[in-house]
Amino acid sequence: MLHGRTRELAALDQLLAAARDGRSGTLVLRGEAGIGKSVLLDHAARAAEEAGMRVLRGTGIEAEGELPFAGLHLMLAGVLDRVDGLPEAQAGALRSAFGLASAANGGDRFLVGLAVLTLLDGLAEERPLLCLVDDAHWLDRESAEALLFAARRLNAEPVAVVFAARDDHASPFPAPGLPELRLRGLDLPDATALLDEQAAHLPRHARDLILAEAAGNPLALCELPTVQREEERYASPYGMAALPPHSRLLRAFSATVAALPEPTRALLLVAAAAGCAGLDTVLEAAERFGAGLDDLEPAERARLLRLSDGRLVFRHPLVRTAVYQDGTVSRRLAAHRALAQALDGRPDGADQRAWHLTAAATGPDATAARLLEESAERARARGSSSAVAVAYERAAALTPDAAGRARRLTAAARAAADAGRLEHAEELAARAADLVDGQADPAAHAAAVLVRAEAADDQGRSRDAYALLSEAAGRLLAGPAPHTAGPVLLRAAHAAWHAGDQDALDATADRAAAAGLPEADRVAALARLAAGQHRCDGAAPADAARAVRELIGAAGESAGDVREAVQLGWWHLFHGDLAAARDLAASLERRCRERGAVGVLGLVQMLLARTQLLLGLHREALATATDGMRTADDTGQARVRVHLATVLAQLAAVRGDEEGCRELTAEALARGVAPGTVHAAGALSLLDLGLGRYGAALDRLTAVVAAPDRQGVIGALPDLVEAAVRHGRPEPGHSALDWYEQHISAHSRRPWAEAVALRCRALLTRDPEAADALYDRAVRRHHEGAGSAFERARTELLHGEHLRRMRRTGDARARLRSALETFERLGAGPWAERARAELRAGGESLVASGAAAGPLDQLTPQELQVATLAAQGLSNRDIGARLFISPRTAGYHLSNVYPKLGITSRRELSGVGL
């Protein structure tokens, strides 16, 4: 019987019942050591098995916390035969993660998470599934990421997942977004009932002492009566230190261990140091202490450990902690050396051997450092950037020479950055740079600085990044190989761009040109492109257009690297070729999804969502940006998340969702880095325009245009024109339109951009007839090329308002009806209401207060993605692999799509406009 856990048992029973009904769920149990988390997991396992569910159990092992995918392998060991049934890319990634094979995509840890999701979904097809993970706080980072990735994407599968994690004196187990249940100590009646059940023979004074000291901790209530010495039961509670229950238990377990024979204590110490090593390894290492299999018996009689699946398992993690901490330093070091010797030559023990040698080192150790570096590279092949970082950092600490330490610290920093740990990456890189003489070895110094600067840049400290890179480039230019400064200066130019520092960009271009570096032309082109973004004077816009054409030519349409290809897409967007940018981004997204490349998918979705927004594909932009936000959260890409949030903010502004728009722009404005700040201001100003707050929109956009860093401002200039005219202050609108016209003229005068410029010119024109002609040309240009339906409707609305003022009511109604239809289709509530108001003012009395959205507009972003792929003929399995969801979840979304679209099968999807 579990005392005092009615709430917790109900939550677990509800989770299991939902899984049996086909609804997945996840729960994180948190609490101090001994509070009862493992007992609740045991209850869940028994209840699941009695109900016919399959149960998978795993646990985090403290000693294996640095071995990538160790915890996941332990959990899935019994179902690895199912890996062959996974999609090829996922199966290869999982085999590579477990060291069973090498795979080209083994470096993507998120693809491993997708493989776990698909594997769990497949197992659940046979019968409902319960996954239990104990001591999740000690999981290696890669296993935790993969399991959390899968848990967050469970939806319509009969799968329940329960994590148990300590929240005291342990590594953190962050699981944002998952339901949590925190376990507290038992109240006095329940604690008393448990103690009576465990030790009814205790005298009253001892019973009261234990109840007071246990403080409701169930493990303390169970263990203290059996491990306390008789004299301790008479100690005055006022004379005892106020220790947390687990500390008291540590002391109690230590006393129990101390009473065992010496060979048994030695064997226990080796087992505690061994982590999850097999019994054969522990016994071989223990032989060096004169201990053998027979010496286990006293520890088993004391209920300190047991044998399970060929491994020695301590009854509770605190027992292992007590055994290890009570060993002297020399004994612990000797235990690790013995384990390293036992693992020598074993093909599956190389990583463990490296870490045991590391634990046994008392100073610099070149051999241990080399083995750790080899372990790091094996971790890289398994897709574990965080494990690479940890191994290289420890290897650096063991490296005797400064140059070697710097090289390994730089490698650790690069891996930490790849793992999304940017602050730690920056700290590691700074340590590496300090170890190297910038004059004697400028290349090694620059390599460290490059990582440090990139980490600073990604965190929004672009000016710091530029200063670091500029200084490092100076050392390279003054050194024996000045040509190596090219990549550093190019990266410095990008940092200056991100910082909005045109002077720094120009100075960097001058330095690259003066040194005759191969990258000089690209740096110069970048500086000229930025000038066109920041300046409207002289020939800057035209020069920027030539510069972006040069950058496009230098990149080439066949850019193989995804990051370089994404940059090419942005050059197309800056050049106004929205269709080329969208097509490139869409192909890159397909490539990332097919390969499971989640690490770069967010960068692609950032570009794709922006181009879809500019093309007026609001439904598609919503789906891409929503999914991209989740991708960015998974990968820790803050800058990507902020950019995508501003896309969603723009869509919220169109809908008139003021609260949503402000929430989505808050982070960008707080970071204060363009173009995020510019896009956020643009979204808020569009919201103001739709709601008729023209003065607020004008003030905000005027401030953006006057700011020193206004990257991305070109797209906001038409809104500034409209706000200025509507507010009765056309002067700022004239200068904004001049800049906008210079920009589009330099970039081949795209029809969609010319149409917007004509609309702005019409707004500023006082002659009614001339304005009418401009509006008319603008509408025709909107229809001539790819562009935004929302922008066309805005032009039609303004033209309709203008025509009504000219008393051409019939012509006005035609424009206004067209605008109203588009606004209603897009869900642009405030803009639709403006069109209806104009129609009513023009004498049209029967104007609906809002037309129903089209069938596709009723779909959620995820449903739209699933339906689009299904319409292309993809199976649920293929859809799941593309969208990083399970096949069953894909089928669940389709089952919701059919009634919304009024169809009954996949065959009909092609006829609904997908």
Residue 106 — very low, low, confident or very high, per pLDDT cuts 50/70/90?
low
**Of 349, 380, 401, which one is at a domain's C-terminal end?**
349
pLDDT at 104 over 80: no
Contact 194, 216 (CB under 8 A): no
pLDDT, tens digit, 9 for 90 and up, residues 808-837: 999 999 999 999 999 999 999 999 999 999
Both 821 and 869 in one domain: the answer is no
Element (H, E) at 788: none
pLDDT beyond 50 at 95: yes
905 and 792 part of one domain:
no
Amino acid at 105: N
Give yes or no: residues 836 and 871 share one domain: no
167 and 29 share a domain?
Answer: yes
Q: Is 578 domain-assigned?
A: no
pLDDT surpasses 60 at 231? no
Asked whether residue 450 is assigned to any structural domain, the reply reads: no
- CB contact set of 138 (below 8 Å; sequence gap of 6+): 59, 60, 61, 62, 65, 71, 170, 171, 317
How many other C-beta atoms are found inside a 10 Å radius of the C-beta of residue 328?
Answer: 9
- In whole angstroms, give the CA distance from residue 570 to residue 592: 18
Average pLDDT, the chain: 88
Q: What pTM was computed for the model?
A: 0.77
- Residues 313, 342, single domain; the answer is yes
Q: What is the mean pLDDT of residues 320-343?
A: 91
**Which pLDDT band, with edges at 50, 70 and 90, does 240 fall under?**
very low
| Residue 321 belongs to some domain of the structure | yes
Is the pLDDT confidence value at 689 over 70?
Answer: yes
Higher-pLDDT residue of 213 and 11 is 11
With the C-alpha atoms ordered 424, 429, 432, 434, is the resulting torsion angle positive or negative?
negative
Within this chain, do residues 61 and 168 fall inside the same structural domain, yes or no? yes
What is the pLDDT confidence band of residue 709, given thresholds at 50, 70 and 90? Answer: confident
DSSP structural state of residue 539: T
- Residues 268 and 230 placed together within one structural domain of the fold: no
Radius of gyration of the chain (CA): 33
101 is a domain residue:
yes
What's 808's domain CATH number?
1.25.40
DSSP percent split of the chain into helix, strand, coil, nearest 5:
70, 5, 25
Is 63 in the same domain as 123?
A: yes
Q: In the predicted model, what is the mean pLDDT of residues 331-353?
A: 91
pLDDT in tens, 359-384: 999 999 999 999 999 999 988 877 67
CATH number of the domain where residue 115 is located: 3.40.50.300
pLDDT of residue 354 exceeding 80: yes
Examine the fold and report which residue of 216, 241, 266 is the final residue of a domain before the chain moves on: 241
Task: For residues 92-114, give the mean pLDDT.
Answer: 74
Is residue 784 pLDDT above 90, yes or no? no
Banded model confidence at residue 269, pLDDT cuts 50, 70, 90: very high
For residue 314, the one-letter residue type is: F
> Residue 204: is its pLDDT beyond 90?
no
Distances (CA, A) of 418 to 11, 315, 600, 817: 38, 38, 11, 52
Establish if 457 belongs to a structural domain.
Answer: no
Last residue of a domain, one of 811, 832, 853: 853
In this structure, the answer to whether residues 56 and 124 fall within a common structural domain is yes
Best mean pLDDT range from 44-53, 89-98, 150-159, 562-571: 44-53
Domain shared by 232 and 317, yes or no: no
Q: Which residue has the higher pLDDT, 286 or 555?
A: 286
Is residue 287 in some structural domain? Answer: yes
Summarize pLDDT for 399-424 with one digit per residue, the tens: 999 999 999 999 999 888 877 678 88
Sequence-distant (6+) residues with CB within 8 A of 856 are 619, 864, 901, 912, 913, 914
Residues 768 and 787 in one domain: yes
Domain span at 229: 188-241
Are residue 880 and residue 788 in the same domain, yes or no?
A: no
pLDDT of the residue at 631:
84
Q: Could you tell me the sign of the dihedral formed by the alpha carbons of 546, 548, 552, 555, in that order?
A: positive
> Per the domain annotation, does 116 fall within a domain?
yes
Per-residue pLDDT of 584-624, as tens digits, reads 999 999 888 877 667 678 889 999 999 999 999 999 999 99
Whether residue 292 lies inside any domain: the answer is: yes
Residue 230, pLDDT score: 46
Q: How many folded domains does the chain comprise?
A: 5
- Residue 245, both tokens: 């229950």
